[in-house]
């Protein structure tokens, strides 16, 4: 275990994610503490703090990957909030989804757009523009 | 057929792509002119000129999707050049690949990295920094 | 925007799809009107009206693709109705699913068959043979 | 129809699977009796009784495949019970999931781990160690 | 082993496939005779002779699935010949590929189209219309 | 950087892999030293040394995942050697592939079997039983 990276990673999860992402990680930690620790240390404590790519671009890449996979709707939902937290506008997120219709196919883009619609509706209901 | 979008799309292919991407599209046009036309009109003439997301971010999303698919090494290779043409640095491209190891798995990232290595080597052999 | 193709596409959606497919498209239009318009113009207004392949065969190809993807149960459900509307028999739809067990794997075929079973049950409950 | 393999396969389903897996097969049999019969004869009556690989290793391979697919959560859930029935420990199952984070990506492993957590919780609630 | 189904399956392979498909199966038989036998008995001896769906439609479904998978270019190539042998026209095959651009994404359709182009060129070079 | 895990990981790569796997890692290290280091530290230095699952079972899970992905033939080839090195017999490896025909589909199993056949032929040509 690498305490320093874990601390950095935990702080980054706090900065990048909204409640949904934090709750997913907390829930994972209860079930599989080692997997949660690896993700915290390796991804949030090391990869996403590397200087070569800004966090906003990292979230765009993550959204594109999750839309293409099509098997991780919960993570996609959490990363919509994360993308907003990292400086993406709602319009940029919708453009990423729209562009994925070409690479991952129309069904993948439609499924992603329905989730985007729900997240934006939730934000509107909370009387907030963006988190 | 929409001549205006086709003209716009053809021009965008000329701007975004290097020789490889142009040759792939030219080859597709010989075999399946209608599919080539749809891609030119719809993707290059319409989607990628939409104002909500800059071309560099679109290429980052495209790279992430192609790495995640893992089934389109030729298109991934062409879009490495395209990403460089649209303002991505070599380091940014490698960071996108590295990040994909988390979302799409390590084999997907390794395969992509080998292609990135070949493209960068080719560019070095041509005595160019970036296209 | 191409008004003629949009009109053709909207009419084709009305002909091909039952309520579920129409509602999915209507819902998409509320959230992402541009994606809905692209699908209407490009797929329903252009691709699926091309003379080289009949609509029934197009639906068979669509079902096979959606079963293979395994990530679009809502669209698969809508295209079961569409396939029936385009002349597929229930037996033909079940044979497509069964055949996919070989190409896409048994879990993909099982998941598809459960959805087919629900749609056929719904149709029976409505006192209809086929839509 | 091959009665002998069907009888062997049905017996193997009874031995390998817990209630969930048995119910899934029974439900499939109602909707698509031929697909259920093929799976019973071909997979449970022939493949999984081949001498070259023990049942525990077969279940490890099956879990790894289902985690990688990411599109068959119901079958994955059923095969967690099956793996326990075939001699896997809970720890071994969690290690397979953890290892898949490297090959299939972190989202695939997280989704699988949440299902593993639910199954183990259900077993604990039933006052049983392992089925 | 089921001799009757094996005989039927072998005959069907002879009828459906051209040299490429026959050679792939013969090569598989050398390496893994049991897998070759299962495919012969189960798929070619049983599934594809079921009365509910004609062979031409089965080949359309197979092409759509293989394009969507994107990981089986050899099998896709063999099934282009098989589709022609089962009554598909060249135009119908190209339409299936074109339609897959919507469901499986543009890269999947492009890759498939390049293979289709090669097969049609080979047939032209042999001075044949269709096999 | 974690020197201890890197040392452990490098040693494990030496033990688990044959020349092919070692060469792949060495090649990756030239192109993308950080990705090579992460894989060495995180996978070979940490995950695969965890006590909950023996190395032979880990290789079975890895083979099953790589066959299911279908996009990593190089890694699959390397892990056939690794599986042999970790105690799998040739027969066990072929059974894993055969079983994957059910979960990942027949094309995935066929493609994997062709690679298995090549590896076993290479080993025979070297006058060795198993590495």
Model ipTM value: 0.95
Interchain pair B113, F34: CB under 8 A? no
Interchain pair A70, C66: CB under 8 A? no
Interchain pair B97, F32: CB under 8 A? yes
The length of chain E, given as a count of residues:
131
Interchain pair F71, B108: CB under 8 A? yes
What's the CA gap between A92 and B54, in Å, rounded? 9
Is residue D27 within 8 Å of C115, Cβ to Cβ? no
Alpha carbon distances (Å) from A92 to A87, C35, C38: 10, 14, 18
Alpha carbon distances (Å) from D119 to D53, D110, E72: 26, 14, 35
Which residue in B14, B96, B25, B18 sits closest to B57, CA to CA?
B96
**Residue B59 confidence (pLDDT) above 60:** yes
Query: Please, which pLDDT band fits residue F28 given cuts at 50, 70 and 90?
Result: very high
Q: How far is A76 from chain B (nearest CA, A)?
A: 11
Residues in chain C closer than 8 A to E66 (CB atoms): 103
Interchain pair B105, D107: CB under 8 A? no
Interchain pair F38, A42: CB under 8 A? yes
Q: Which residue of C has its CA nearest to E69?
A: C68
Query: Please, which pLDDT band fits residue A110 given cuts at 50, 70 and 90?
Result: very high
Q: Classify residue D76 by its DSSP letter.
A: H
Percent of chain E with pLDDT over 90: 93
Query: Please, which pLDDT band fits residue C128 given cuts at 50, 70 and 90?
Result: low
Q: Give F9-20 as a DSSP string.
A: HHHHHHHH--HH
Q: Mean pLDDT throughout C57-85?
A: 98
Would you state the pLDDT for residue D2? 78
Residues in chain E closer than 8 A to B24 (CB atoms): 110
F-side interface with B, Cβ within 8 Å? 24, 27-28, 30-32, 34-35, 38-39, 43, 66, 69, 71-72, 74-75
What's the CA gap between D73 and D80, in Å, rounded? 11
Q: How far is E61 from chain B (nearest CA, A)?
A: 20
Residues in chain D closer than 8 A to B102 (CB atoms): 105-106
Q: Find the angle CA(E101)-CA(E106)-CA(E110) to the nearest 5 degrees.
A: 95
Cβ-nearest to E71 among B30, B34, B71: B71
Would you state the pLDDT for residue C127? 80
Which distant-in-sequence residues (6+ apart) come within 8 Å of B52 by Cβ?
A89, A91, A92, A94, A95
Would you state the pLDDT for residue B130? 55
Q: Classify residue F42 by its DSSP letter.
A: I
Would you state the pLDDT for residue E51? 95
F-side interface with C, Cβ within 8 Å? 102-108
Q: Which residue of B has its CA nearest to A94?
A: B52
**pLDDT tens-digit map of F49-92:** 999 999 999 999 999 999 999 999 999 999 999 999 999 999 99
Query: Please, which pLDDT band fits residue B4 given cuts at 50, 70 and 90?
Result: very high
Q: Which residue of B has its CA nearest to E106?
A: B39
Residues in chain F closer than 8 A to D101 (CB atoms): 47
Is residue B60 within 8 Å of A83, Cβ to Cβ? no
Phi, psi of C127 (to 5 degrees): 70, 20
**pLDDT tens-digit map of A29-58:** 999 999 999 999 999 999 999 999 999 999
Residues in chain F closer than 8 A to B101 (CB atoms): 35, 38-39
Which distant-in-sequence residues (6+ apart) come within 8 Å of D130 by Cβ?
D84, D89, D90, D123
Query: Please, which pLDDT band fits residue A1 given cuts at 50, 70 and 90?
Result: low
Interchain pair B117, F69: CB under 8 A? no
**pLDDT tens-digit map of C85-107:** 999 999 999 999 999 999 999 99
* Chains touching D by CB (3 or more pairs below 8 Å): A, B, C, E, F
**Residue C46 confidence (pLDDT) above 90:** yes
Query: Please, which pLDDT band fits residue E128 given cuts at 50, 70 and 90?
Result: low
A-side interface with E, Cβ within 8 Å? 102-108
Q: How far is F56 from chain D (nearest CA, A)?
A: 9
Lowest-confidence segment of B120-124, C105-109, D123-127, F37-41 by average pLDDT: D123-127
Interchain pair C98, E61: CB under 8 A? no
Determine the residue among C34, C40, C43, C71 to mutate to test chain B binding: the one whose Cβ has the most chain B Cβ atoms within 10 Å: C34
Phi-psi group of B87: left, alpha or beta (phi > 0 → left; psi -120 to 50 → alpha; rest → beta): left
What's the CA gap between A98 and A106, in Å, rounded? 9
Would you state the pLDDT for residue C1? 64
What's the CA gap between D62 and D19, in Å, rounded? 18
What's the CA gap between A93 and A103, in Å, rounded? 16
Positions of chain D with pLDDT under 70: 1, 128-131
Phi, psi of E126 (to 5 degrees): -80, 5
Determine the residue among E65, E69, E90 to mutate to test chain C binding: the one whose Cβ has the most chain C Cβ atoms within 10 Å: E65
What's the CA gap between A21 and B18, in Å, rounded? 39
Q: Which residue of C has its CA nearest to A73?
A: C71
Would you state the pLDDT for residue F65? 98
Interchain pair E111, B27: CB under 8 A? no
Would you state the pLDDT for residue F109? 98
Alpha helices, DSSP H only, in chain F?
3-16, 19-31, 33-38, 55-69, 73-85, 90-103, 106-125
Query: Please, which pLDDT band fits residue E2 given cuts at 50, 70 and 90?
Result: confident
On whether the pTM is more than 0.95, the answer is yes
Q: Mean pLDDT throughout A15-33?
A: 97
**pLDDT tens-digit map of E57-96:** 999 999 999 999 999 999 999 999 999 999 999 999 999 9
Cβ-nearest to A35 among D71, D105, D113: D113
Determine the residue among F32, F34, F69 to mutate to test chain A binding: the one whose Cβ has the most chain A Cβ atoms within 10 Å: F34
Alpha carbon distances (Å) from E36 to D35, D53, E24: 20, 19, 10
What's the CA gap between F75 and C110, in Å, rounded? 30
Which distant-in-sequence residues (6+ apart) come within 8 Å of C3 by Cβ?
none
* Chains touching E by CB (3 or more pairs below 8 Å): A, B, C, D, F
Please list, residue by residue across B47-59, b when 16 or more beta carbons sit within 10 angstroms of its beta carbon and e when fewer do.
Answer: bbeeebbebbbbb
Residues in chain A closer than 8 A to C39 (CB atoms): 106, 110
Query: Please, which pLDDT band fits residue B2 given cuts at 50, 70 and 90?
Result: confident
Would you state the pLDDT for residue C2? 77
């Amino acid at each position: 275990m690498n305490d320093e990276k874990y601390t950095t990673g935990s702080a980054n999860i706090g900065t990048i994610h909204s409640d949904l992402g934090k709750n997913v990680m907390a829930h994972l930690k209860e079930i599989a503490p080692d997997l949660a620790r690896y993700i915290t240390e390796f991804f949030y404590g090391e990869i996403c703090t590397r200087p070569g790519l800004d966090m906003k671009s990292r979230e765009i890449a993550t959204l594109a990957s999750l839309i293409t996979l099509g098997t991780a709707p919960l993570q996609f939902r959490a990363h919509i909030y994360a993308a907003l937290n990292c400086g993406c506008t709602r319009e940029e997120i919708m453009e990423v989804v729209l562009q994925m219709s070409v690479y991952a196919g129309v069904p993948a883009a439609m499924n992603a757009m329905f989730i985007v619609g729900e997240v934006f509706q939730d934000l509107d209901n909370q009387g907030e523009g963006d988190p």
